[in-house]
Amino acid sequence: MTTSKRVADRGDQADIQAVSRVSQILSLFDPATPEVTAAQVAERLGLNRTTAYRYCTSLVAAGLLERHAEGGYVPGGLLLQLGAFAIGHRRVMNLAPRHMQALSRDTQASAVLSLWGLTGPVVSRVEENPGTIVVVSVRVGSHLPLDTAQSKVFLAYHFDQLSMDRLMATLSGPALEELRAEVERVHGVGHCSAMSTPGVVAVAAPVFDEYGICATIAIVGPDNTLSMSDDAPELRAVVSTARELTKELGGHYRPDGPA
């Protein structure tokens, strides 16, 4: 190998590492972490503070981050523009609202549409029913953990099952085995009901376009009003809504399962 070739290869590797590092920094943001400091970036990614600071200032210059008045960093204008563009061009986001409004009205629960993010579902739209006595609010932008109904549906039907296996492998022991068994069950029945937080139940089903699963549709409500039973009318309403959305998107509901 020539010297110039070795230098070029090292340059390519450095570029790839830089892109990977930028992705890691941006993935630190979520609803619970709207702002980070260079020190936090260094601590969470195992970098020295000088390197973390250089990355953050470069991302500010590129418009991906903005410097907050208190010294930290928040998502920048370019990042917000790209995020809005990406979500706005998901057809399911345009078709879902009227279905979600009807679902919320019919089930007396909050309807939630989630899209797949970097490592799990992200709540992208919520329709609440103000006429109910108890309204369960879900914040748009929330990143849902792996034990939620929406996550299990995505894990069961995502086209990249190797990545899903790696994601589940972040758990260990009984928690991992329990999640794998539940995901297998979801793949068999085509829906999932789970306790999302103490006292709150979520019932979810997959939505498919022509390429595969593109979203989950769910309802959430108090466990004393929303059943987790497989024959509950609320579950049938969720599955029916998912089927209708799938049909409008040109997909096939549960393409590798029963019709």
Class of domain 90-249: alpha beta
What pLDDT shows up at residue 7?
Answer: 45
Q: Tokens at residue 164, please?
A: 């899903």
Which strands sit side by side in the sheet containing 212-222, from one edge to the other? Answer: 121-127, 110-116, 212-222, 200-209, 192-197
Residue whose token pair is 């309807």: 111
Could you list the pLDDT tens digit for every one of the 259 residues in the chain?
A: 555 555 445 556 767 888 889 989 998 887 778 899 999 999 999 999 999 999 999 999 999 999 987 789 998 888 877 776 666 557 899 999 999 999 999 999 999 999 998 788 989 999 987 777 666 778 888 889 999 999 999 999 998 899 899 999 989 899 999 999 999 999 999 999 998 778 889 999 999 998 899 999 999 988 888 888 888 999 999 999 999 999 999 998 876 665 4
Q: What is the spatial distance between Cα 116 and Cα 120, in angstroms, rounded to a whole number?
A: 6
Alpha-carbon separation of residue 246 from 91, 187, 239, 241 (angstroms):
11, 17, 10, 9
**The CATH number of the domain covering residues in 17-82:** 1.10.10.10
Report the pLDDT value the prediction gives residue 222, as an integer from 0 to 100. Answer: 86
- What are the residues whose beta carbons fall under 8 Å from the beta carbon of 101, sequence distance 6 or more? 111, 127
Beta 110-116 vs 73-75: how paired, if at all?
unpaired
User: Residue 191 and residue 108: Cα distance in Å, rounded?
Assistant: 19
CA distance 110 to 101: 9
Q: Indicate left, alpha or beta for 115 from its phi (over 0: left) and psi (-120 to 50: alpha).
A: beta
> Which pLDDT belongs to residue 245?
95
Task: Determine the 3-state secondary structure of 196 from DSSP.
Answer: strand
Helix (H) or strand (E) holding 106: helix 91-107
Parallel, antiparallel, or unpaired: how do β-strands 110-116 and 212-222 relate? antiparallel
**Contact predicate 139/251, CB 8 Å:** no
Q: Where are the domains of the chain?
A: 17-82, 90-249
